[in-house]
Structure 1
Amino acid sequence: MIKGLYTGAAGMLAAQTQSEIIADNVANIRTPGYKREESSNKAFPEMLMMRTSTQNEIPGNTLIGGIGTGVVVDQVTRMNVQGVLQTTDIPTDLAIIAEEAFLVVDTPNGERYTRNGQLQLNSEGILQTADGYPVLGEEGPIGPLSKDFQVDAQGGITDQGVTIDRLRLVQVPAEGLLREGQSLYASNQPVQEFAGNEVVLQGTLEGSNVNLPSQMVKMITVMRAYEANQKVIQTHDATLEKAVNEIGRIV
C-alpha cells in the first residue's frame, strides 16, 4: 500500500517538472532564436514481489509478479526545428538559417553560443548581444562598425566597401549543449567551425519555434496527470487512516 504513495508522489514530481518546462517555453515564445524543450519520462525499475518457500516446497523463492514504482523525467531535449523568419530591415538583426549553426559570443565565463540574432552596436561600434556580450568573428570582436555595415549570406562583414571580418559560426553537438539563461549555451563537447553556405540573413530575425496552442494542450494534459496522481495519494492516505483508526480498534 505504501508503494502506491511512492508511485503517486513520483508521478506528481514528474508532472511538476514537465509543467515547468512548458511554462519556460511559453515565457520565451517571443525570444528570437529560442528552441523549445520537451521532456520524456521513464519508469522506475519494477519491484519484484517474491513469496518465500515453505519447508515442504523446493528451496528458493517463488515469483509472484512485479509492481510499478512510478516514473521520473528521463531527459530534456532541445528541439532544433527552425523558427519562423521575420523581416525587420534592421541591420543588426541577423537570422541564422542553418539549424545546426550558432553564433559565438565572448562572456566573462568564456565563449558561449547563441542563435539569438537580435544584436546591437555599442558606443564604440562593436557588435554585441542585447546583454552586452561581444559577438566574435574570425579575428575576434567585430568592429568598430558604422550603422550601414552589411553582412552577406556566408557571414562576411563589410562596412563602406571595406571587408571587416567574417562571423564565426560553429556547429555544436546537440547532446553537448548546456543551456545558460534564455539565449546562451555552453558545450561539454568539442565544437566545430561551421562550413555551410547561405547561413545568414541580415535584417531578419528567427523567431522561437514554440507553438502556443500545442503548449497549452500539453499543459492541460500534464495538469490532469498531476491531479490524477494527487488523487492516488489521497485515496491511499484515506485507506491508511481507516486501517489505523478502525481496523486496529479494539472492540
Structure 2
Amino acid sequence: MLRGFNTAASGMIANQRMQETLSNNIANSDTPGYKADQGTMRAFPELLLQQMGGETIPTSNGGLTLPTQKELGSLNTGVYMQEAVPDFSQGDLRETGNTTDLALLNGNLPDDEGFLFFNVQNADGDVRQTRNGNFTVDGEGFLTTNQGYYVLDNDGGPIQTDGMEFIVQENGTLEIGDQNVQLGLTYSSNAADMVKEGDDLYTSGDEADPVENARDVDGVNFEVRQRHVEGSNVDPSRTMTEMMNTYRTFEMNQRALKAYDQSMQKTVNDVGKLG
C-alpha cells in the first residue's frame, strides 16, 4: 500500500512540474526569440520481482530442500520529470519597423541539430547566446538587449552605433557611418546541449563541444533581417491542450492518493480496535 501511495505522489509532483513548464511557455508566447521547453517524463528504475521458494528432492535420508527463484516480472515505482528541453525551431518573423530590431534566420546548416545565435555579454562579462533580437541603443550609443547586455561584434567587443541610425546587411554586417562592423554570431552543432540561463540567454552546457563562430564553420548559411524580430515558437492552442491533459492526470493521481490515504486510515483504526 505504501508503494502505491508513493507512486501516486510521484505522479502528482511530476505533473505539477510539467504544468509549471507549460505555464512558463504560455507566459513567454509573446517574447521574441523564445524557445518553448518540452518536458520529458521518465519512470523510476524498475524493480525486478522474484518469487522465493523451495523444491524438495527425495533422497535416502528423507528429502533435500533446495531454494528456488522464479522471475515474476518488473514493477515501476513512480515517474518523474527528467528535464525540460528547449524546442529549437525557427519562430515566425514579425516586422516592427524599428532600426534596432534584428531577426536571425537559419539557412542551410551542416548538422540536423545545429542552430545559430546572437552573441551578447552578460552582467558578469561572459559571452552568452540569445535568439531575442529585440535590441535597443543605450545612453552611451552601444547596441544592447532589453536587459542592458551588450550585443557583441565578430571580435567579441560591444558595438558602438553612435545613435539609432544604422543599416544591417543580410550577411550581418552593420554599416555605421563610414565603418562596417560584423555582428557576432555563434553556431552550435547540437542545440540540445545549450542551457538556458534566464533573460533569454543560453550557454554551452558541454565544454567538450563548445560553440563556434558561425562565420568559421563550413556549410553554415544565415540571413539577418533588420526591422524584424523572430517571434516565439510557442503554439498557444497546443500548449493549452497539454495543460488541460496534465491537469487531468494530476487529478487522477490525486484521487488515487486520496483512496490510499483513506485505506490506510481505515486499516489503522481497525487494527486499533482489534487491539
TM-score (norm 1): 0.93
SS in 2 for 1:61: strand
Q: Following TM superposition, by how much is the alpha carbon of 1:198 offset from its aligned partner in structure 2, in angstroms?
A: 4.0
Gaps in structure 2 of 5+ consecutive residues: 57-64, 107-113
Distance verdict in 2 for CA 1:127–1:66, change over 3 Å: same
Q: Check the 8 A contact 1:143/1:164 in 2, yes or no.
A: no
| Match of residue 154, structure 1, among 160, 164, 171 | 171
Q: 2:211 aligns with which of 191, 202, 222?
A: 191
Q: Deviations over 1:182-239 (max 9, x none)?
A: 4111113311111334420000011101111111100000011111111111111111
CA displacement, residues 140-174 of structure 1 (integer Å, 9 cap, x when unaligned): 111133322000111001023x2331001001232
Given that 1:146 and 1:159 are in contact with CA atoms closer than 8 Å, whether structure 2 keeps it comes out as no
Distance, in Å, in 2 between the alignment partners of 1:151 and 1:192 is 22
Identity of aligned residues (%): 34
1:27 CA displacement? 0.9
2:255 is paired with a residue whose SS is helix
CA contact (8 A) 1:127 1:145 kept: no
Task: Name the structure 1 match of 2:257.
Answer: 233
Distance 1:144 1:81 in 2: 30
Aligned to 1:52: 52
Tell me if the contact between 2:161 and 2:176 (Cα under 8 Å) persists in the aligned partners: no
More displaced 10-residue stretch of structure 1: 203-212 or 193-202: 193-202
Q: Which residue of 2 aligns with 1:246?
A: 270
Q: Does 1:113 pair with 2:137?
A: no
The match for 1:131 is: 147
Within 2, Cα distance between the matches of 1:76 and 1:192? 24
- The structural deviation recorded for 1:73 is 1.3
Shift of 1:95: 0.4
Aligned to 1:206: 230
Q: Which residue of structure 2 aligns with residue 176 of structure 1?
A: 193
Look at both structures and tell me which one has the larger radius of gyration over its CA atoms: 2
CA distance in 2, matches of 1:16, 1:117: 32
Q: One-letter code of the match for 1:8?
A: A
Distance in 2, Cα, partners of 1:245 & 1:48: 33
